[in-house]
Amino acid sequence: MFFTMVSSIKSFFNLNSIQQKHSLLKSLVLLGLVLFMLYTLLFSHHYQPPNLLAIHKQKRPVSRSVTNSPTNLSDIMFGIVGSVKTWKHKRSYVESWWRPNVTRGYVFLDREPSQEFLPWSSNSPPFRVNRNITKSKLYPKIVNPIQIRIVHTILETFREGDKDVKWYVMADDDTVLFIDNLVEVLAKYDHTKYFYIGENSECIRSNSDFSFDMAFGGAGYALSYALMEVLATKLDGCIERYPHLHSSDFILHACLADLGVALTHEKGFHQIDLRGDISGLLSAHNSDRPLVSLHHIDIIDPIFSSKNRSESVTHLMKAYKLDHSRLLQQTICYHRPSNWSFSISWGYSTHIYETIFPQSFLQKPLETFRPWMKYAKPPFYIFNTRGISNNPCETPHEFFFDSMEISSEDQIVTTYVRISPRQRNRSRCFSTGNHSADSITRIQVFSPAATPKKVSPNPNSNSLLLV
């Protein structure tokens, strides 16, 4: 009797287990059908992984700055990094290119300006004072707070909220910008896309210490409006991620690399990580790139030896204002009867060589300058140079920009004068005949007058008159 009861109980539980399994199987089948329908609905079109930048672009509101009109100066917002301690000496560099009531932007100072600068000059950009970061939780971890202030200027410029901006251009207060050429460069790019535009250093060591694909901020760099919107939401996070980095430029580069944005190289931005006399570099500026900027004006020698640094910048700007796109463009020509070669850097210098040299030789900058770092080992530069030679045939007679005028034939006449006799080697070049240029004291260059439609005039259209 007891055995019969146990057998009945076992049969009951076995039956119940079978029913539960059947019910579970039905549930799994129904769940599978639901998942299949969802898969068909969501993935019937070719599914692609999400692009974070693209999603941000779709979500962001349409800004009034997103227009199809050609880029002009009013579309650019400048953020200049300055310091109250050095503003007295550097303001002339900024004021040389700043156009009151035309250019837009701010100079960001490390503290409130002292009384000597008040009232603030209308010839300077309006000033702002950078946010105090010493009270932030991250501050004790930051290895170089000054660099964080500099990189944060990007964010603070954007947060000023100016309308109708296509480009944000950042630079230092010892940088001279050639803003009309800058407009022409930026006009080639679409500000509604993600662009990070600038150039690296002239010195190999500087680039190897950071990156060959990093824009050096002293030379200046440009960020498109679309990229700036994304960066404004990410930059603080990047600073928290990279508090150990010593350079503001490298922090920005690292942040943009994390976003998948690479540097677009534009060779007209000049960091000038050089020492001493850079006349050799300026006298061989490539004719296929407009001059956009010159940095480290306070460190290099005055670019005109007969003037101080501020006067030199003002003097160069005279030529720039008359024909901005031609400034520093190199032209090479020859006077066959005398076996002379001429190298003209329009608005800056003219060189005479007492023999015929190919263009490939004259296009190499004469190494009048020194590397940025005292103990750097060769090779020093990212471009080819030619050294100072004791050969009189390779030693140029140098003439520097003196004055200009518009002739009655509607030509621009620039005059270049000899500052001093050749110092390094006064002997003559006899390899191609006795044709000394010692008696030449002045050179005039005749160029077609620029027109509003002219973007990049042919530098070879220049003609010479020797006096």
The residue ranges of every structural domain in the chain are 59-265, 322-466
**For residues 406 and 410, what is the distance between their CA atoms, to the nearest angstrom?**
6
Count the residues in the chain: 467
Mean pLDDT computed over every residue of the chain = 85
Please name the residues in contact with 17: beta carbons below 8 A apart, sequence gap of 6 or more.
none
Phi, psi of 420 (to 5 degrees): -160, 160
CATH 3.90.550.50 fits 59-265, yes or no: yes
pLDDT value, residue 461? 61
The answer on pLDDT for 306 being more than 50 is yes
Instruction: State mean pLDDT over 180-200.
Output: 97
What's residue 110's pLDDT? 95
Q: Nearest-5° angle of CA 219, CA 221, CA 227?
A: 170
- Would you state the pLDDT for residue 246? 86
Q: CA 440: distance to chain centroid? A: 39
CA distance 107 to 145: 19
pLDDT of 418 strictly over 80: yes
* Model pTM score: 0.83
Burial of residue 163 (CB within 10 Å: 0-12, 13-18, 19+) is exposed
The CB-side HSE value for 453 (13 A sphere, CA atoms) comes to 0
* Segment 280-289 mean pLDDT: 92
**d(C-alpha 278, C-alpha 305), whole Å:** 11
CA 202 centroid distance within chain:
13
pLDDT digits (tens, 9 = 90+) for 2-20: 434 434 434 433 434 445 5
